[in-house]
A and B are shown apart, each in its own frame.
Chain A
Amino acid sequence: MSEQTKVPEGILCSSTHEWVLEDGDLCTIGLTDYAIEQLGDIVFVELPEIGASFSKNEVFATIESVKAASEIYMPIGGKIVEVNEAIINSPEIINEDCYEKGWLVKIEASNPSEDTVGLLEYEDYKEEVA
Chain B
Amino acid sequence: MDKKTFLYEEQTKLNAKLTPFAGWLMPVSYTSIFEEHNAVRQNVGLFDVSHMGEVFISGKDSLNFLQKLVPQDVSKLTKNKALYCQLTNKNGGIIDDLIIYRLDEIDKDYLLIVNASRIDDDLNWMVRNSLGFDVNIVNDSHNYSLLAVQGPKASLLIEKMGIKKENQPKFFSIKRGEIKNINVLIARTGYTGEDGFEILVKNHYSAYLWDKILEDGMEFGILPIGLGARDTLRLEAALHLYGNDLDETVTPVEAGLGWSVAKDKEEDYNGKDVIMGQLNGTVPKSKKLVGFIMEDKIPARHGYEVFYEGKKIGVVTSGGPSPVLKKNIGLAYLDVNNETSLNTLEKTLGITVNIMIRNKQYNAKIVKKPFIEKKNKKDNL
Contact = CB atoms under 8 A, between A and B. Distances in A.
Contacts of A67: 28, 33, 228, 231, 320
A68 interface: yes
B29 interface: yes
B297 interface: yes
Contacts of B29: 40
B228 A64 contact: no
Interface in A49-74: 62, 64, 66-69
Contact of A66 (B17, B321, B358): B321
Contacts, number: 39
A43 interface: yes
Contacts of B228: 40, 66-67
A66 B297 contact: no
Interface string B295-334: 0011101000000000000000000110000001000000
A82 B28 CA distance: 35
Nearest to B297: A44
B371 interface: no
A69 B321 contact: no
Given A67-B28, A67-B320, A41 B33 contact: yes
A40 B298 contact: no
A38 B28 CA distance: 10
Contacts of A68: 301
A41 B34 contact: yes
B297 to A, nearest CB: 6
Contact of B32 (A41, A62, A64): A41
Contacts of A40: 17, 28-29, 32-33, 228
Nearest to B37: A66
Interface string B219-231: 0000000001001
A125 to B, nearest CB: 20
B62 interface: no
Contacts of B270: none
Interface in B268-311: 297-299, 301
Nearest to B226: A40
B67 interface: no
Interface in A68-115: 68-69, 95
A40 B321 CA distance: 13
Contact of B358 (A38, A43, A62, A95): A62
A64 B34 contact: no
Given A62-B358, A66-B34, A43 B321 contact: yes
Contacts of A95: 32
B53 to A, nearest CB: 24
B206 interface: no
Given A40-B228, A43-B321, A66 B33 contact: yes
B232 interface: yes
Nearest to B19: A67
A38 B17 CA distance: 8
B37 to A, nearest CB: 9
A67 B29 CA distance: 11
Given A62-B358, A66-B228, A67-B320, A44 B33 contact: no
Given A40-B29, A44-B297, A67-B320, 14 more contacts: A40-B33, A40-B228, A41-B32, A41-B33, A43-B328, A46-B358, A62-B358, A64-B298, A66-B33, A66-B34, A67-B33, A67-B228, A69-B301, A95-B32
10 contacts: A40-B28, A40-B32, A40-B228, A41-B34, A43-B321, A46-B358, A66-B33, A66-B232, A67-B231, A69-B358
